[in-house]
Structure 1
């Protein structure tokens, strides 16, 4: 008996969610990547405090969905796992490409790329792999992919914010130190480290203060 694992390519459809409208009054476009267990439409609630006339928020949806608990009632999603990570990363990158193509964001607007928790990994990878000229990169309570190096961000002139809670249950002192050191190596003088009193949670107050 010979077991083989083969690979195919095919086209899928996926959703994404937006908040507010893209108009002549828009100043900032946010591309926000949710954490594991979220759906994009619910993740947008953290951005409702932003001025709706000046801020347009785009939330891509992770394609891999699952039931969160045994009741089979609430659905969440995940960007990546340790299984076939390289191939799945490319699928996510193509997902993001399709969203940007559909939205056709005007180049004169401020582009803010935001990742929370697991969303940090895909946000950082997308900026690096596509050499995306954003004005801000926000890495909130998530790990920076190990394979990314300083040369991957040599092009980037953006302000980079590393945000996390001091009581984050997924973050030891050693992990915080190593993540901060890696971010400093990658982004140098563009980096701003922002710590807050709190657990592994989205900090709306800090989000509202970014613009």
Structure 2
């Protein structure tokens, strides 16, 4: 048996969700990446408590969708797997580029890039690879990509707010591994601030309100 695995390039279409309107009164644009199992239109609802005149939210949609549960009614999605990760990452980042081109964010607004759970891997890779001078990079309950090093973020200044938020009852993180990871990430992003909330593996809007 002789199997060849080949590649082909083609155009595709993917959706994304926005919350509120981008107007001259908008002060902050949020680019928010959901975790595994979400759809962007549901994830973006978590930010509904923010001031609607001053905040505009963009939630990209992970391209790989799947049925959740045994009844095949609910749909979730995933950004990446261990399969063909390098190419899939390239595809996803180009999709994010297309979104930002389409939205044409004004220069006077602040930009917050946020990743939740699996979305942390996309948020951090996009900022690093595109050298995005964002005002804040927020990582919530997610692992930092192993391949990223300090030099990948050398373009950022100390004015960039970098925060990692973790639930104290998050079942996916063991305290020993968390402490070791904190040391590694702090070497890469020296100005990072570590925050916790009393919940589990979830995005806590209250913690975000305290930061912004």
In the superposition, the TM-score normalised over structure 1's length comes to 0.98
**Aligned ranges 1:133-144 → 2 under 5 Å:** 133-144=133-144
Tell whether 2:201 aligns with 1:200.
Answer: yes
State the alpha-carbon separation in 2 of the partners of residues 52 and 61 from structure 1.
Answer: 22
The number of residues matched between the two structures is: 210
Give the unaligned 5+ runs of structure 1.
Answer: none
**Aligned ranges 1:1-211 → 2 under 5 Å:** 1-157=1-157, 158-188=160-190, 190-211=191-212
> 1:47 touches 1:207 (CA, 8 Å); kept in 2?
no
State the alpha-carbon separation in 2 of the partners of residues 77 and 177 from structure 1.
Answer: 29
Q: RMSD value over aligned CA atoms?
A: 0.8
Deviation at 1:8, TM superposition (A): 0.8
In the superposition, the TM-score normalised over structure 2's length comes to 0.97
State the alpha-carbon separation in 2 of the partners of residues 48 and 13 from structure 1.
Answer: 27
SS at match of 1:21: coil
Q: Residue by residue, what CA displacement relative to the aligned partner does 1:37-61 show, whole Å, maximum 9, x if unpaired?
A: 0000000111001000000000000
State the alpha-carbon separation in 1 of the partners of residues 110 and 187 from structure 2.
Answer: 25
Runs of 4+ in 1 over 3 A off after TM superposition: none
SS at match of 1:72: coil
Deviation at 1:210, TM superposition (A): 2.6
